[in-house]
Amino acid sequence: MTLIAIQVRAPPMELVAAKSTLKSLLEGVDPVTGYPIPKGLVLHHAMVIRALLCAVAVMEAEEARSRRRARLPRNTGRPWGPNDDAQLLGAFRSGLPLLQIAADHQRSLASVESRLERLGALAPEQRVTRNRYVTPPRGTATLR
């Protein structure tokens, strides 16, 4: 007789449910039954409690990152292509406001200014956002 192993995958747990489960364990409560977890179990060891606290902190950091990311323009972090550059330069040269250009390209104002500067269409002193990636001029001493 041949046995065939069938692996059934459970759907992934939602982060909210996982965090709620971990917090319940941290409080010493069984997340399924709602009853207190007996004191002699491993869940009451300091190392396990610290690990649970660490897991909750990671989940909360991920939630915060996701909330920040959701507020960013859709094309944030995506590379600029040749067509994007041509459209960007055309819009800039036609006199469209930079905020409008940024909205049209679904990019941040800083991204649009940076790209225009890189393409030689915008001088650094014309920027209204700060350049976070400034490199010191040649011949300037830097601290190491």
pLDDT at 58 over 50: yes
CB neighbour class for 115 (10 Å; exposed up to 12, middle 13-18, buried from 19)? buried
Q: Is 122 domain-assigned?
A: yes
DSSP conformation letters of 69-105: HHHS-TTTTPPPPHHHHHHHHHHHHTT--HHHHHHHH
Q: Which two tokens stand for residue 126?
A: 């014309």
Q: What is the mean pLDDT of the chain?
A: 87
Per-residue model confidence (pLDDT) at position 131: 76
**Is the confidence at residue 64, as pLDDT, over 70?**
yes
Q: Are residues 67 and 100 in the same domain?
A: no
Q: Per the structure, how many domains does the chain have?
A: 2
> Residue 63 sits in which domain range?
15-71
pLDDT, tens digit (0-9, with 9 covering 90-100), for 79-121: 999 999 999 999 999 999 999 999 999 999 999 999 999 999 9
C-alpha to C-alpha distance for 17 and 11, rounded to whole angstroms: 12
In this structure, the answer to whether residues 20 and 61 fall within a common structural domain is: yes
| pTM > 0.75 | no
Residues 20 and 50 in one domain: yes
